[in-house]
């Protein structure tokens, strides 16, 4: 939820510190970072670590030294409504070599949705769009649905508009 702290589940093994960065990105940056299939993992991380973080911190993790997997929750800051990459590292340098790195996409938004395959259908999906804080349906919300189609000649994925849908009084629509 925008402007409210968020909780993040962290699964880890044999580390006692987690360094993290939240990098604010737009959709064009997202596409550039994640649709280039020919980019190596190392180049991907070099690009990510070169980006300026909107937020960053370090968290000390409980480490009993038992070589087992553990889980804990950490708090992320109250952030503006936007799309972020959360980059984590066992080392504060965020170097690729001899380090444990990971990333994920986080969207701070007031909107949530629930989807499922419609019972008895041949692939239709139903969606319930809600206000993330109150859980109330978002009436007359417009959902623009896009898909990615592969271009064999250019060897890239292109975004193609699939359709536009409007929710009913229950925040519901069928795709």
Beta 156-166 vs 142-151: how paired, if at all?
Answer: antiparallel
Dist CA 29 CA 141 (whole Å): 26
pLDDT in tens, the chain (175 residues): 888 999 999 999 989 999 999 999 998 888 888 776 667 888 888 999 999 999 999 999 988 889 899 999 999 999 998 999 999 999 999 999 999 999 999 999 999 999 998 888 777 899 999 999 999 999 999 999 989 898 899 888 888 999 999 999 999 999 8
Q: How far is CA 147 from CA 60, 71, 91, 161, in A?
A: 40, 34, 37, 6
Q: Taking a C-beta distance cutoff of 8 angstroms, is the pair 18, 58 a contact? A: yes
Burial of 131 (0-12, 13-18, 19+ CB in 10 A): middle
């Amino acid at each position: 939820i925008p402007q409210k702290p968020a909780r993040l589940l962290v699964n880890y093994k044999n580390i006692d510190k987690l360094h993290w960065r939240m990098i604010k990105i737009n959709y064009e940056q997202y596409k550039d970072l994640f649709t280039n299939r020919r980019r190596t993992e190392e180049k991907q991380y070099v690009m990510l670590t070169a980006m300026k973080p909107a937020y960053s911190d370090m968290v000390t993790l409980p480490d009993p030294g038992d070589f087992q997997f553990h889980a804990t929750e950490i708090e992320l800051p109250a952030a503006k409504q936007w799309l972020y990459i959360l980059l984590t590292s066992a080392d504060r340098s965020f170097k690729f070599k001899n380090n444990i790195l990971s990333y994920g996409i986080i969207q701070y938004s007031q909107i949530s949705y629930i989807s499922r395959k419609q019972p008895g259908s041949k692939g239709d999906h139903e969606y319930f769009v809600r206000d993330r804080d109150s859980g109330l349906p978002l009436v007359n919300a417009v959902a623009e649905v896009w898909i990615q189609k592969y271009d064999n000649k250019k060897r890239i994925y292109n975004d193609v508009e699939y359709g536009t849908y409007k929710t009913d009084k229950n925040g519901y629509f069928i795709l």
